[in-house]
Amino acid sequence: NKTLVGSTIGTTLDRFINKKQSEFPFATGELSQLLRDIALAGKIINVEINKSGLLDIAGAYGTTNVQGEEQQKLDVIANIRFIRALKNGGQVCAIVSEEDDEIVEINQDSNYVVAMDPLDGSSNIDVNVSIGTIFSIYRRVSPNGSPVSREDVLQKGQKQVAAGYILYGSSTMMVYTTGHGVNGFTYEQSLGEFVLSHPDITCPNDGSIYSVNEGSYFSFEKGVQQYIEYCKEQRYSARYIGSLVSDFHRNMFKGGIYIYPRTDKALNGKLRLVYECNALAFIAEQAGGVATDGEQRIMDLDPLELHQRTQLFIGSKKMVEKAESFL
């Protein structure tokens, strides 16, 4: 295990953000503040998640979100916490959230848009499996002070200025990029701070772990079935947690591929382009990995709808290329 020594490892997220900002002379500090606001919301949700087993907030909330999924109470709480933290932080003009059917307009005098899945994998909450927050950050394209437009929130993934996730697992980690590499921070309970624990994360170019829900095997297209057979012939390991952030995070460190292809129940795949796939695609590419929909680069896809779904093949470069060779 890494010992927290040296000037970089052990730096708090706050100091890291300040140091990085100083490397950009024209930085206004707005993006820095936004990243801090997200980290704050993550800390608050971390507390809620850790006590959810004790309080009756883990159970289903009774309402359903645009996915038609039972909205877990923690889903709703996480969404409220993030929206409140971003509103109070003052940097955000609009939010797109898995939990809100429409654009959440915040402050038309602010410059940033956040697209987020506040708590992905929430069906895992009440069985104590890790869950995650996924977020993308864009600069608005409409003039400051004007009403927020759909063009502000439906930007291609290549326009992201930052992206990241918070993984509430055996330890709580925040991993993010601003386009200059990927860095991982571990929440240090005693300090109440995220501390730099995994600087300059790189995804192995190849791997032997594949993550896909083989329960849907018979409804996968032939090429996907053939790639799964290939993985078995290679004696790869099957690891599918049912929590995208957990599978993605493990594959980024160990090497691996996560696939959510189209099925008979999910004709365009299940995962959402705007607030799940684009963020992880940005991180994957910044770490040396790749992310496609089986044909095109995820970050080149044109979002037409807020909750648009896409197929996702993401992880080690050679594994994604191999999978695509079967499609």
In the annotated binding site for Mg(2+), the residues are: 98, 117, 119-120, 276
Burial of 30 (0-12, 13-18, 19+ CB in 10 A): middle
The residue (of 73 and 270) whose beta carbon lies closer to ligand P6P is 270
Q: How far apart are CA 98 and CA 196, in angstroms?
A: 29
3-state secondary structure of 27: coil
Q: Are 93 and 108 in contact (CB under 8 A)?
A: yes
Per-residue x/- mask for ligand P6P, residues 269 to 298, rule CB under 6 A?
-x----------------------------
The residue (of 18 and 213) whose beta carbon lies closer to ligand P6P is 213
Q: How far apart are CA 211 and CA 127, in angstroms?
A: 20
Least separation in angstroms between CB 121 and ligand P6P: 4
Least separation in angstroms between CB 315 and ligand P6P: 13
120 binds ligand P6P (CB under 6 A): yes
Residues comprising the chain, all counted: 327
Q: Which stretch binds ligand P6P (CB under 6 A): 41-49, 105-113, 118-126, 188-196?
A: 118-126
Least separation in angstroms between CB 220 and ligand P6P: 12
The residue (of 17 and 134) whose beta carbon lies closer to ligand P6P is 134
The residue (of 236 and 240) whose beta carbon lies closer to ligand P6P is 240
Helix ranges restricted to H, the chain: 13-22, 30-52, 73-89, 150-153, 222-233, 244-254, 278-286, 317-326
Alpha-carbon distance values, 3 to 8, 13, 169, 183 (Å): 12, 17, 20, 16
**Residue list, annotated binding site:** 98, 117, 119-123, 213, 240, 270, 276
Rg, C-alpha atoms of the chain: 19
For the segment 154-213, give every residue that binds ligand P6P (CB under 6 A). 213
For the segment 53-92, give every residue that binds ligand P6P (CB under 6 A). none
Least separation in angstroms between CB 270 and ligand P6P: 6
**Residue list, annotated binding site for substrate:** 120-123, 213, 240, 270
DSSP 12: B
Give the residues across from 196 on adjacent strands.
Answer: 185
Instruction: Figure out which of the listed residues 42, 118, 121, 303 binds ligand P6P, where binding follows CB under 6 A.
Output: 121
Least separation in angstroms between CB 117 and ligand P6P: 8
Q: How far apart are CA 46 and CA 318, in angstroms?
A: 35
- DSSP letters, 169-197, are SSSEEEEEESSS-EEEEEEETTTTEEEEE
Q: Which stretch binds ligand P6P (CB under 6 A): 21-29, 115-123, 145-153, 288-296?
A: 115-123
Using CB under 6 A as the binding criterion, the count of chain residues that bind ligand P6P stands at: 8
With tokens 């955000």, the residue in question is 92
Least separation in angstroms between CB 214 and ligand P6P: 9
Least separation in angstroms between CB 242 and ligand P6P: 5
Per-residue x/- mask for ligand P6P, residues 235 to 274, rule CB under 6 A?
-------xxx-------------------------x----
- DSSP letters, 215-249, are GGGGGS-HHHHHHHHHHHHTTPEE---S-HHHHHH
The residue (of 99 and 120) whose beta carbon lies closer to ligand P6P is 120
With tokens 């996702």, the residue in question is 312
Site of interaction with ligand P6P (CB under 6 A): 120-121, 123, 213, 242-244, 270
